[in-house]
Amino acid sequence: MNLKYILAIESSCDDCAVAILDTRGKILSDQIYSQIELYSQFGGIVPEIASRLHLEKIAFLIKKTINDSNIKLSEINLVAVTDQPGLIGSLLIGVQFAKGFSQGLQIPLIKINHIEGHLFAGYGELDFPTTAFIGLIASGGHSSIYYCNSNDEIELLGQTRDDAAGEALDKIGRLLGFNYPAGIEIDRCAQFGNPYRFHFPIAFKSEDSLEFSFSGLKTAAKDMIEQNRTRFNNQDIADFCASLQFIISKTLLTKAKLACEKYNTKTLVIGGGVAANSRLRLDVKQLTEMGFSVYIPPKLQCTDNASMIGRAAIRRLDKSKI
């Protein structure tokens, strides 16, 4: 397929995102309309509101993205869009706009799994692995480990049995009185805390398993907050947040390291919103010091965005997986 530019759309949850990329994965324009400020009053995403806002904003966002990329509409010859998993109403808006765009310009459409987008957010970058690797995806909705083999086949190795890592952070943050998304506030507060002061449980700690569970951590944190609510000062809360981040990062990276050992690779790719967490990014450096090659995207590309969907589509074309 003779390609020049790709239009990518991501609308799986609350953020409406559109990007234009060239066939090497270079991002010409990457726009996101965030709904975060609105949901702070509700303490979380309201699916019906999310889908309505996607409908209101997506046409404007597509037009702005194309204008900012300084290309002609006729130069776009492929559309890539997230089709699963996510909020049904939100996904529907993105997919229907992508179909209309594809049919109107008579160009191909590629549907991309949201997780695949996170796994290949760095595809085309010089430091992105070209060999088999373990992928760790950690976000508000997902905590899972994958193996991408030398034939570029993706296999799910393990995932959370209950809450995702980002979900646990948000729920515990709400108990502390933080606004949504609480994970960001926890990260900010943790910068001033002692990560070794409070002790939290790790699920499946001694088991040869690649699955996660954060419900026990959430319960332990809830009990700790309720028992100390009247006695917690600002430093106590900072220590609590730092300790919480420490244990979540340790849990995620310990399982990722175990997966690498099981599949005889020292190459790890990390993606998802939690990959922007400062504690996890700090702990990743310890893995590199142990000889692991770790790719982790820039913080802005860890959260949901359209450029990752475009890059996943480029990978499919390069590997003839369409």
Return phi, psi of residue 24, to 5°: -90, -5
Residues 284 and 137 in one domain: yes
Q: Give the DSSP per-residue string, 148-177.
A: E-TT--EEEEEEBSS--HHHHHHHHHHHTT
Round to whole Å and give the CA distance between 174 and 170.
6
Residues 294 and 309 in one domain: no
Round to whole Å and give the CA distance between 134 and 145.
7
pLDDT at 321 over 70: no
Tokens for 94, please give them: 């993105």
Residues 107 and 142 in one domain: no
pLDDT at 322: 53
Round to whole Å and give the CA distance between 257 and 253.
6
Residue 225: domain span: 133-298
In this prediction, residues 216-239 reach a mean pLDDT of 91
Residues 57 and 147 in one domain: no
Residues 102 and 169 in one domain: no
In a domain, 239, yes or no: yes
Average pLDDT in the chain: 93
Residues 147 and 202 in one domain: yes
Contact 34, 65 (CB under 8 A): no
How far from each other are the two terminal CA atoms of the chain, in whole angstroms?
A: 11
In a domain, 184, yes or no: yes
Q: What's the CATH code of the domain at 72?
A: 3.30.420.40
In this prediction, residues 34-50 reach a mean pLDDT of 86
Please give the angle made by the CA atoms of 211, 213 and 216, to the nearest 5 degrees: 155
In a domain, 30, yes or no: yes
Could you give the residue ranges of the DSSP H alpha helices within the chain? 36-39, 47-68, 88-105, 114-119, 165-175, 182-190, 215-228, 234-262, 278-289, 307-318
Tokens for 225, please give them: 């907050």
Proportion of the chain in helix, strand, coil states, percent, rounded to 5: 45, 20, 35
Number of domains within the chain: 2
Round to whole Å and give the CA distance between 308 and 313.
9
Return phi, psi of residue 244, to 5°: -65, -50
In this prediction, residues 67-89 reach a mean pLDDT of 95
In a domain, 126, yes or no: no
Residues 103 and 252 in one domain: no
In this prediction, residues 296-307 reach a mean pLDDT of 94
In this prediction, residues 132-161 reach a mean pLDDT of 93
- Residues paired with 29 in a beta bridge: 20
pLDDT tens-digit readout, 171-201 = 999 999 998 889 999 999 999 999 999 999 9
Residues 271 and 309 in one domain: no
Residues 157 and 275 in one domain: yes
Task: Tell me how far CA of residue 314 lies from CA of 6, 198, 205, 273, in angstroms.
Answer: 9, 45, 38, 22
pLDDT tens-digit readout, 233-275 = 999 999 999 999 999 999 999 999 999 999 999 999 999 999 9
